[in-house]
Amino acid sequence: LAKTTQPISMDSYEGQEVNITCSHNNIATNDYITWYQQFPSQGPRFIIQGYKTKVTNEVASLFIPADRKSSTLSLPRVSLSDTAVYYCLVGPSNAGGTSYGKLTFGQGTILTVHP
């Protein structure tokens, strides 16, 4: 599984856009990039997933350059409730659905949003 590197921590203020970049130099052809959010004493929550270019949902955007060796999670106009740990994961997915149940988490990025 491809290893990921992301900043240990980031600080921001309410209303700002936050971009968290993740490096995954050894990403494989069939790997997807997935971001999770985790609040203290809760399970990780799926935010967004992508394979290439740009993906946007109601919560965030995910930018993936052509070489796929990095990705950037963009959170628009953060609020205090966005303070959490954000994990970038890279791993395979297949039609059978079993191999992508084995996620490898790094230490994540602690995002702190200030008033």
Partner 1 sequence: ETGVTQSPTHLIKTRGQQVTLRCSSQSGHNTVSWYQQALGQGPQFIFQYYREEENGRGNFPPRFSGLQFPNYSSELNVNALELDDSALYLCATLGQGIKTQYFGPGTRLLVL
The site for partner 1 (CB under 8 A) is made up of 32, 34, 41-46, 49, 87, 93, 97-108
| Sheet of 45-50, strands arranged across | 9-13, 109-114, 84-92, 31-38, 45-50
Nearer to partner 1, 101 or 115 (CB): 101
- For partner 1, the closer of residues 57 and 79 by Cβ is 57
CA distance 85 to 67: 26
- For the CB of residue 106, give the shortest distance to partner 1 in the complex, in Å: 5
81 SS3 class:
helix
Work out how close the CB of 62 gets to partner 1 at its nearest, in angstroms, rounded to a whole number: 13
**CB of 13 or CB of 105, closer to partner 1:** 105
